[in-house]
Amino acid sequence: MTGPAEKKQLLHLVFGGELKSLGSTEFRDLAALDIVGIYPDYASAHAAWRAKAQSTVDNADTRYFIVHLHRLLDPESASPGKD
């Protein structure tokens, strides 16, 4: 139960890995995916994404992504542009 002062959870997943090619989102090795974590809001997910992306800047084939899990869990309440 959430009280009036609590923000609604808007879960976000941060993950990444090495891509097969720069122009795709297909990963070279699914077993080697880096699951960074699940975060309660976009701001904390973005901070984690930025840290991981910056730590892999020397490998051009490595990419990290943010997935809006809350939109997958409740697609009817998700509206574009809102997190």
Is residue 79 very low, low, confident or very high in pLDDT (cuts 50, 70, 90)?
low
Q: In what order do the strands lie in the sheet with 34-39?
A: 34-39, 12-18, 62-68
Domain at 12-22+35-73, CATH from 3.30.540.10, 3.30.70.2400, 1.10.760.10, 3.40.50.2300: 3.30.70.2400
Per-domain boundaries in the chain: 12-22+35-73
* Nearest CA among 60, 30, 64, 37 for reference residue 50: 64
pLDDT at 27: 96
Residue from 34, 31, 39, 71 nearest 53 by CA = 34
pLDDT classification of 74: cutoffs 50, 70, 90? confident
Q: In angstroms, rounded to a whole number, what is the distance separating the alpha carbons of residues 62 and 39?
A: 21
Query: pTM to 2 decimals?
Result: 0.81
